[in-house]
A and B are shown apart, each in its own frame.
Chain A
Amino acid sequence: MSTSKTHNLPGTKPNRWLGKNSRQGNWWAALLLIVTTVLILLATTDDFATPQNANNLLAQAMPLIIVAIGQMIVIVLAGMDLSVGSVMSLTTAILALDGSPLVLIPLVFLAAVLIGIVNGVAIVRLNVHPIIATLSMQFIVLGIAQILRPVAGGSVPDLVVSLVTGSVFGVPAPVFWAIFVVALGWKILHGSRFGLYLFAIGGGVASGQDDTAHNFGLKDGRSIIIAYVFSALFAALAGTFIAGRIASGDPGVGSQFALDSITAVAIGGTQLSGGVGGLHGSILGAVLMALLANGMNLAGLSAFLQGAIKGVILLLVVAMQSRKKMGL
């Protein structure tokens, strides 16, 4: 069965990548700004187009790419996961415990599964709004991370550091991470029946008919719970990557990622109201945010100005898409 065909709901033209009925969202705005930023940096800085900076940029973008893929999985079904940042922090805290990586790494992903299940059950069974459920979970998980590691420090297993900072035949490890997470994200969102369910559930919510998917016989409750488990698992993966980068545990390291991941997904064209979006858009959104940070650093822009400039550029991207389309 071709899964691409099944993504098209009644009344829409088949799977167009551009145009007002595109089920991929308005991802082109992020792409346009990436191309513009790259051209400006190529023209104005000497250090941008170097292999070293390409490695830096990929490594810097990778955590946000990973967590944005997980965030998109829940956003496309009209949900939201504010606990991803705390899951990342908890991951680094667990990995910085004394113990074998063969114990700590499975423990990280087990914790993520539990967090995802609790989020999903709270939303589906207890009917708690996704923002409230995951915000509560954010505080709970952050508290646990702070108990495990009150102050940043400790050291994570060498295996984790090598998996992030090493290379294979001269190819930096982040390249393999990129291939893995993109392939996994693509399979989940665009290459599986589960992905179809997500778009169907989100599309129903976006059209104001929450029960559409259910009425078509889809097991929407189970799909929503699984989606939140995936979101937490991607956050744990991103946390593992960060832990390898900083080589230590830090209970505050994920604090920016909840909002950053939602921003990346939104500027990549995924509608926050659900049902519309594409993996490539979310990746472009994450890359754009990393590129802006990297580019402003290389352009030597004042530390006092960088935050303001980043805000203006992100506003520009968002303004290139209609508010209704974004679901905001």
Chain B
Amino acid sequence: MTTIRLTTLSVCAALLASSALAQDVNLMDGVEPRPEGNSIVEAGAFQTEAPWTIAMSHFGVNANTWTVQTAHEAKGIADGDARIENFIMLDANFDQAKQVADIEDLIAQDPDVLIVMPVTPTSADAGIQMAIDAGIPVVVHTGRTENQNFTVDIQGGAENFGRVMGDFLVEQLGGEGKIWVLRGLPSHPEDINRYNGLMQALEGTNIDITQEDYGNWVYDLGKSLCETFYLNDPQVDAIWSSGADMTRACVDVLTEFGADIPPITGEGNNGFFGQWLELGYPSIVAEYSPSQAAAGVRAAVALLEGEALHKHYIYEPEGWNAEKAAEYYRDDLSANVWWPTELPEETLQELYGN
């Protein structure tokens, strides 16, 4: 009996120690182990002597300024670690078939770790399996996959993002009113999940969506959308915008028409911060840092160092108010920087300096 108790205690101690070790790895501020349904990647499971080759399949580098910055964030971390001899990043250009091909080409180069930002929930499934079968650990982030056989994933909660914005509007409107909804890319999982988060926030309220359409998360389309909405029916109590460039565009439209700016949701974008702080309209920032790409590289490095990690990490930060935005805003940088960032000052100046 004593032996059983001792064994049980030893196992519990080992599990706790392993869990504690896994929690010690800070992938990024705001990224936490998922509290439920998690497991541990044991210490040393993928420990490898440097130099390392880290391969990364990016879902689409050049879609907008945020995606561009994710690529720089990942590359910045990799370039700063002398043990990473070769960092190979391929751009799927939001093409599911290309991501399948990219992952094949990356695996053919026998990397020590494969990092995947999936185009769609299924675009990387076969590739993940191929890598795992070849003994290559896989880190998935900024997009979910149906294949759950990856080694570690880090997921920004798109529903949390939409809900943070939705809760703010519900509070601002006291539970009733008319809102416009500016969505992202049609059919994109991130857009659908953010919208689901909004729907959760609106449940049980008397808030009606009077106008809704897709602005593809870009300024130009966001502007056209808001012009159309305003000309169609200028009565609006608040605006739920799924992306900061669309928020800026919509505020510009309302300003041009001489209308009051109602509560409108935003994102951690420098251009939006400048406009928000200058005009002082009611808003909130849902944080969605491009540094998630840096966290992905950091997770890959931790695996190769032999650190214990959790299998699932989540990134569901609280919303930012104007005071916090003011701490980050930089008028010496262009509108295209996204906060928070891990890019060093030199790189920020090089890429975004005015």
The verdict on A181 contacting chain B, using a C-beta distance below 8 Å, is: no
The verdict on A246 contacting chain B, using a C-beta distance below 8 Å, is: yes
Of the listed stretches B105-113, B218-226, B253-261, B294-302, chain A binds B105-113
Residues in chain B near residue A293, CB distance under 8 A: 98, 101
B136 CB, min distance to chain A CBs, angstroms: 13
A297 pairs with B126, CB closer than 8 A: no
Residues in chain A near residue B188, CB distance under 8 A: 151
Q: Chain B: which residue is nearest A300 at the CB level?
A: B88
Residues in chain A near residue B146, CB distance under 8 A: 153
A300 pairs with B86, CB closer than 8 A: yes
The verdict on B89 contacting chain A, using a C-beta distance below 8 Å, is: yes
Residues in chain B near residue A153, CB distance under 8 A: 120-122, 146
Of the listed stretches A103-111, A204-212, A251-259, chain B binds A251-259
A153-175 vs B, Cβ < 8 Å mask (1 yes, 0 no): 11100000000010000000000
Q: Known contacts being A256-B95, A303-B61, A304-B71, is A151 close to B108, with CB within 8 Å?
A: no
The verdict on B200 contacting chain A, using a C-beta distance below 8 Å, is: no
A146 pairs with B187, CB closer than 8 A: yes
B187 pairs with A246, CB closer than 8 A: no
A297 pairs with B90, CB closer than 8 A: yes
The verdict on A150 contacting chain B, using a C-beta distance below 8 Å, is: yes
> Looking at the complex, which one of B97, B106, B187 makes contact with A297 (CB distance below 8 Å)?
B106
User: Whole-angstrom distance between the alpha carbons of A151 and B192 in the complex?
Assistant: 9
B68 CB, min distance to chain A CBs, angstroms: 9
The verdict on B213 contacting chain A, using a C-beta distance below 8 Å, is: no
The verdict on B252 contacting chain A, using a C-beta distance below 8 Å, is: no
Most chain A CB within a 10 A radius of its CB, from B102, B104, B188: B104
The verdict on B91 contacting chain A, using a C-beta distance below 8 Å, is: yes
Residues in chain B near residue A53, CB distance under 8 A: 105, 108
Q: Known contacts being A146-B187, A151-B189, A300-B88, is A248 close to B109, with CB within 8 Å?
A: no
Residues in chain A near residue B283, CB distance under 8 A: none
The verdict on B309 contacting chain A, using a C-beta distance below 8 Å, is: no
Residues in chain A near residue B42, CB distance under 8 A: none
User: Whole-angstrom distance between the alpha carbons of A245 and B93 in the complex?
Assistant: 17
User: Whole-angstrom distance between the alpha carbons of A310 and B102 in the complex?
Assistant: 15
Q: Chain B: which residue is nearest A56 at the CB level?
A: B104
The verdict on A60 contacting chain B, using a C-beta distance below 8 Å, is: yes
The verdict on B269 contacting chain A, using a C-beta distance below 8 Å, is: no
User: Whole-angstrom distance between the alpha carbons of A256 and B93 in the complex?
Assistant: 11
Residues in chain A near residue B100, CB distance under 8 A: 245-246
Interface residue tally for chain B (C-beta within 8 Å): 37
User: Whole-angstrom distance between the alpha carbons of A146 and B98 in the complex?
Assistant: 20
User: Whole-angstrom distance between the alpha carbons of A154 and B122 in the complex?
Assistant: 8
Q: Known contacts being A53-B108, A152-B187, is A294 close to B101, with CB within 8 Å?
A: yes
B187 pairs with A252, CB closer than 8 A: yes
> Looking at the complex, which one of B91, B94, B104 makes contact with A306 (CB distance below 8 Å)?
B91
The verdict on B96 contacting chain A, using a C-beta distance below 8 Å, is: yes
A47 pairs with B108, CB closer than 8 A: yes
The verdict on A2 contacting chain B, using a C-beta distance below 8 Å, is: no
User: Whole-angstrom distance between the alpha carbons of A52 and B125 in the complex?
Assistant: 19
The verdict on A63 contacting chain B, using a C-beta distance below 8 Å, is: yes
A39-53 vs B, Cβ < 8 Å mask (1 yes, 0 no): 000000001001011
User: Whole-angstrom distance between the alpha carbons of A297 and B56 in the complex?
Assistant: 11
Most chain A CB within a 10 A radius of its CB, from B61, B101, B123: B101
Residues in chain B near residue A294, CB distance under 8 A: 101, 105
Residues in chain B near residue A59, CB distance under 8 A: 101, 104
A235-274 vs B, Cβ < 8 Å mask (1 yes, 0 no): 0000000100111101111011000000000000000000
The verdict on B163 contacting chain A, using a C-beta distance below 8 Å, is: no
B212 CB, min distance to chain A CBs, angstroms: 15
Residues in chain A near residue B311, CB distance under 8 A: none
> Looking at the complex, which one of B93, B96, B101, B104 makes contact with A250 (CB distance below 8 Å)?
B96
User: Whole-angstrom distance between the alpha carbons of A155 and B121 in the complex?
Assistant: 11
> Looking at the complex, which one of B98, B105, B125 makes contact with A298 (CB distance below 8 Å)?
B105
User: Whole-angstrom distance between the alpha carbons of A253 and B99 in the complex?
Assistant: 11
B165-189 vs A, Cβ < 8 Å mask (1 yes, 0 no): 0000000000000000000001111
B243 CB, min distance to chain A CBs, angstroms: 18
A60 pairs with B104, CB closer than 8 A: yes
The verdict on B58 contacting chain A, using a C-beta distance below 8 Å, is: yes
Q: Known contacts being A56-B101, A153-B122, A247-B125, is A304 close to B61, with CB within 8 Å?
A: yes
Q: Known contacts being A242-B97, A303-B90, is A297 close to B121, with CB within 8 Å?
A: no
A246 pairs with B101, CB closer than 8 A: no
A152 pairs with B123, CB closer than 8 A: yes
Residues in chain A near residue B125, CB distance under 8 A: 247-248
Residues in chain B near residue A246, CB distance under 8 A: 96-97, 100, 122-123, 126
Q: Chain B: which residue is nearest A304 at the CB level?
A: B61
Residues in chain A near residue B108, CB distance under 8 A: 47, 50, 52-53, 56, 298
> Looking at the complex, which one of A52, A146, A245, A251 makes contact with B97 (CB distance below 8 Å)?
A245
User: Whole-angstrom distance between the alpha carbons of A293 and B90 in the complex?
Assistant: 10
A152 pairs with B96, CB closer than 8 A: yes
A14 CB, min distance to chain B CBs, angstroms: 41
Residues in chain A near residue B93, CB distance under 8 A: 307
Q: Chain B: which residue is nearest A302 at the CB level?
A: B89
Residues in chain A near residue B62, CB distance under 8 A: 307
Residues in chain B near residue A52, CB distance under 8 A: 108
B187 pairs with A47, CB closer than 8 A: no
Residues in chain B near residue A252, CB distance under 8 A: 94, 96, 187
State the 3 A-B residue pairs at the shortest beta-carbon distance, nearest first: A152-B120, A303-B91, A248-B122
Which B residues lie at the A interface, using CB under 8 A? 58, 61-62, 71, 86, 88-91, 93-98, 100-102, 104-106, 108-110, 119-123, 125-126, 146, 186-189, 192
A-B contact pairs, 12 of them (CB 8 A): A151-B188, A151-B192, A152-B96, A152-B119, A152-B123, A246-B123, A252-B187, A253-B97, A256-B95, A300-B109, A302-B89, A303-B61
Which A residues lie at the B interface, using CB under 8 A? 47, 50, 52-53, 56, 59-60, 63, 146, 150-155, 165, 242, 245-248, 250-253, 255-256, 293-294, 297-298, 300, 302-304, 306-307
Instruction: Given contacts A250-B123, A298-B109, list 6 more A-B pairs with CB under 8 A.
Output: A246-B100, A247-B126, A250-B96, A250-B122, A252-B187, A294-B101
